[in-house]
Structure 1
């Protein structure tokens, strides 16, 4: 079975999507529609902007979403049997599986980006990648630190990202190094995504999600919060709201997709980060990048 997976923030690069725009009338139309919906020329930033321009959350999230979704819409024989997305990529997966239409998905992504940026500015916070420790060791260590610091992204065995207040994350990094972490590296991100500090963003996004029509997907969606196949629109909504403050359980999602029959993982969007993570979960499955 083919599983299509969609990347999140961090996969962006200068020039992303230009080949799609130049080679597909469908893609060109959708990029121009996106400029109209967002009210600014995001294609110009994607095609010509610097890495710094692309790094702003309000640009990054719609840019990665657009690259992924427009690529999916230009693929021949795009018939996913299961989909999943990493963090932001979950909304791309929902459009690809026809839960959301293109415009509704883009509006939610932009609303999510602005709400997250506001939450980051209101409460200085950060994230750090912890390599080479069991998940349980990291979870327990975070629980012993004063202040807010939690496990945020279960990316693959031996790679877990923590998230929280700056001082608490720094203290957790020191403790985890003492416990034998190969690396404890503070990440260049705007704030503590997938932590309780995103509560104001979750509340804001919840209103927009509740007002958006969600359809039954054409295939099961493996959501970050539950890690299991979901097909019920009301449940998909609930999980998408919870996702901003809950951890991204990518390792567990991939394990469940494999258990349910996935033999090939196709990454749809910029970069190849997810292929690397999938390979660290299982060497047995095939991985590739979607190509038009």
Structure 2
């Protein structure tokens, strides 16, 4: 069975999508449509901008969504048995299997990114990947801290991303280093998938109610519970909860494997998810 997986922030690069724009009439049409819907040239930022601009949440999420969904539109025989998306990638996955249209998804991503960017600018939050320690150990340390710091991305065995207030993150990271763990600060200036994102979740919930969701053509393994979902009402609920809940990527891939997935195709820019998924598959 074939599983298609869609990345989130961190997979972007300058020039992403330019080859698709130059070689496919359908891709070009959808890129230009994106510019028209957004009211500014996201294509210029993607093709010829700077990383400093592209890495802003309000642009990154749009760029990755546009690239990923367009790629599925021009792929030959795109007929997944199951899909999953990492954080933002969940929206790309949903658009790819027509739970909502490309255009509706683009507007949703724009609202999501803007709401998250506003919080990033008002709250000093950060994220860090912790390597070499058991999930349970990281969870307990975060639980005991007095500030806001939580597990955010269960990526693969031996790698868990934490998210929260910068001071809290510094404290627990110092403790993890003493325990023999390795720390990598993520190049994002926000505490995604933490309680800090609660105001963004409320804004997103209001906007999602204006969009028509359809039942899924195939199971989508959503971040919140790592379980296969097809009903539109459940997909909506999980998509809203995702903003303040951890991304259960490791658990999602494990469940997809249990349910017959033997081939994982990374649809987005780069191959970050393929590398992570390989570690889960080889566990």
Query: Which range, TM-score by smaller chain?
Result: over 0.9
Q: CA deviation at 1:209?
A: 0.8
User: Matches of 1:13 and 1:188 in 2, distance apart?
Assistant: 13
Asked whether the equivalents of residues 127 and 161 of structure 1 are also in contact (C-alpha less than 8 Å), the reply is: yes
Q: If the length of structure 2 is used for normalisation, what is the TM-score?
A: 0.99
Q: Deviations over 1:111-170 (max 9, x none)?
A: 000000011122111011100111000000101112000000000010000000000000
**What is the match of residue 219 of structure 2?**
220
Match for residue 170 of structure 1? 170
Partner of 1:93: 93
Alpha-carbon distance between aligned partners in 1 of 2:210 and 2:224, rounded to the nearest angstrom = 21
Measure the CA separation in 1 of the matches of 2:56 and 2:272. 20
CA distance in 1, matches of 2:227, 2:186: 28
- Residue 288 of structure 1: aligned partner: none
Alignment correspondent of 1:60? 60
Residue 271 (structure 2) aligns with: 272
The CA distance in 2 between the partners of 1:11 and 1:187, in whole Å, is: 12
Structural mapping, 1:237-276, within 5 Å:
237-276=236-275
Secondary structure in 2 aligned to 1:215?
Answer: coil
2:49 and 2:121 map into 1 onto residues whose CA distance is: 23
Q: Which runs of 5+ in 1 are unaligned?
A: 285-292
Residues 173 and 185 of structure 1 are in contact (CA less than 8 Å); yes or no, is this contact kept in structure 2? no
Unaligned runs of 5+ in 2: none
> Which whole-Å CA distance do the structure 1 matches of 2:83 and 2:186 have between them?
27
Cα deviation, 1:27-79, whole Å, max 9, x if unaligned, reads: 00000000011000010110001111211111100000011000010001110
Work out whether residues 69 and 92 of structure 1, in 8 Å CA contact, stay in contact via their aligned partners in 2.
yes
- SS at 2:243 equivalent: coil
TM-score, normalising length: structure 1: 0.96
Show CA shifts across 1:76-108 (max 9, x none): 111011000000000000001110100000000
Q: Which residue of 2 aligns with 1:46?
A: 46
What do residues 232-266 of structure 1 show as CA deviations (whole Å, max 9, x unaligned)?
Answer: 00000000000000000000000000000000000
Q: What is the alpha-carbon root mean square deviation over aligned residues?
A: 0.9
Per-residue deviation, 1:204: 0.5
Shift of residue 283, structure 1, vs aligned partner: 2.7
